Amino acid sequence: MPARLRLPIALVLCLTLAGGIGLVAAASLALALLALGAGLAIALVLLVLALAYPRRHFADRLAAAVAAEPDPVELFSIVAAEAGAELNVPAVSFVRFEPAGFGTVVGAWHAQGTPAAVPGLTVELDASTIAGQIYANGRPAPGGAPIRIGNKPWGVLVGESAAVDQLVSVADAAAGVIAYADASARLSLLGTRDPLTNLLDHRVFHEQLRAEVRRARRHNRALSLVLVNLDGFRRLNEEHGRLSGDRILGEAAHRLAGSVRQGEIVSRIGADHFAWILPETEGLNGWIGAERARRSISSTPFPGIGIVTASAGVIDLEDVDDADELLALAGLALLRAKATGGDATFRYSDDLLRTADAPRDERGLEHLRALARELDAGT
């Protein structure tokens, strides 16, 4: 075969056969036919293979991720990990545009030791952020590409060290799976709110707790859990009647929800029991948040009732192995707070169990309460 014909024949063979037998097989056959003296043709055929096959492979990996039926919250981060592998960058995140005008990181992945956004983080949609730049004009920007669902802007794929054309390609390929994960997450919350308090119910709480524990383990991030119980609620219910008891629960839930940050989850899990999941929060900060919430309940009299106090138990993921143990030991911390007379917040520790019969260390509590008041003053 004349040398001048080898290059066009190689390309024609590779691209024509790809549709019928697959790109890998087509490239192999083209190379076999040009085995001798076709160095340039081989290089170009392999270039076509390198450019075309990864995109198909990425789509296959996304399809496999959906087929595994993970929790919708977890699926966002799985897709982020696949996007990171496809883009060959150290960190990737998906930011969803919220109706209130800010962004929320719904999925993220980063290589070990790489600082990165984490799920639940709030992102300002202004010129200081990649998401904000894309939110303003809807066009790709260095380090980010828009994601559109149903011809409407949904959010942004952020991968700061990736080429813009690669980001656009990956964002387009991932849009369908992102739409599925987003719709699934929203549908899972419909009809799952407690009608009395409008908080998420116990079923959603348990699902979200397991999902957040898995996510924290995968990304090696902090996670805290707070359990809150109203003190003397049975007595209040008996003294003031069930309708007043319902109003107490509704008002307590409202005050507790007012302490919750974006990305955190608060639920009613029993008659007068509430649970609060705090991603990206280690134990001491979890205690401070719980103490702030507890004081928000007791600081102002309830209409027609008076002062109602609450107790809380706190634990972080560092102390436990799984979601069930996290919940059980938070419950033990709550029981310890109740056993000392209530109106207190206890953080779980091995020492807490060993000193279950010891008097309460009021000096230590007052020190931490002072710290919480200082943080309140700064916010």
**Digit-coded pLDDT (tens) for 328-373:** 899 889 988 998 899 999 999 877 766 554 444 444 445 444 434 4
Q: Are residues 233 and 361 in the same domain?
A: yes
- Give pLDDT, residue 343: 94
Say what the pLDDT of residue 365 is. 46
pLDDT at 113: 66
Same domain assignment for residues 23 and 159: no
Residue 230 in any domain: the answer is: yes
Sole residue written with tokens 């590779």: 14
Question: Quick one: 54 and 85 in the same domain?
Answer: no
Structural domain ending residue among the three candidates 142, 166, 189 = 189
Question: Is residue 322 a part of any domain in this protein?
Answer: yes
Which residues of the chain carry a pLDDT beneath 70?
A: 1-56, 100, 113-116, 120, 189-191, 262, 353-379
Number of domains in the chain: 3
Cβ pair 268, 201 in contact under 8 A: yes
Q: Residue 30 and residue 32: Cα distance in Å, rounded?
A: 5
Residue 88 belongs to a domain with what CATH number? 3.30.450.40
Residue 253 shares a structural domain with residue 172: no
Does one domain contain both 96 and 212? no
Q: Are 50 and 120 in a shared domain?
A: no
Give a yes or no: residue 360 inside a domain.
yes
Indicate which CATH number applies to the domain containing 249. Answer: 3.30.70.270
Q: 358 lies in a domain?
A: yes
- What integer pLDDT is reported at residue 67 of this predicted model? 85
Range of the domain at 12: 3-67
Q: Domain for residue 256, yes or no? A: yes
Query: Do 150 and 242 reside in the same domain of the chain?
Result: no
pLDDT for the residue numbered 355: 56
pTM: 0.56
Residue 197 lies in a domain: no
| Domain identity same for 264 and 291 | yes
The reply to whether 195 falls in a domain is: no
Last residue of a domain, one of 167, 189, 211: 189
Statement to judge: residues 47 and 101 lie in one domain: no
* Residue at 194 is within a domain: no
In SS3 terms, 255-278 reads as HHHCCCCCCCEEEECCCCEEEEEE
Q: Residues 244, 141: contact at Cβ < 8 Å?
A: no
Residues 212, 359 within the same domain? yes
Residue ending a domain, choose from 67, 85, 105: 67
Q: What is the structure's pLDDT at 368? A: 42
**The tokens of 207 are what?**
């699902």
Both 22 and 157 in one domain: the answer is no
Residues 366 and 247 in one domain: yes
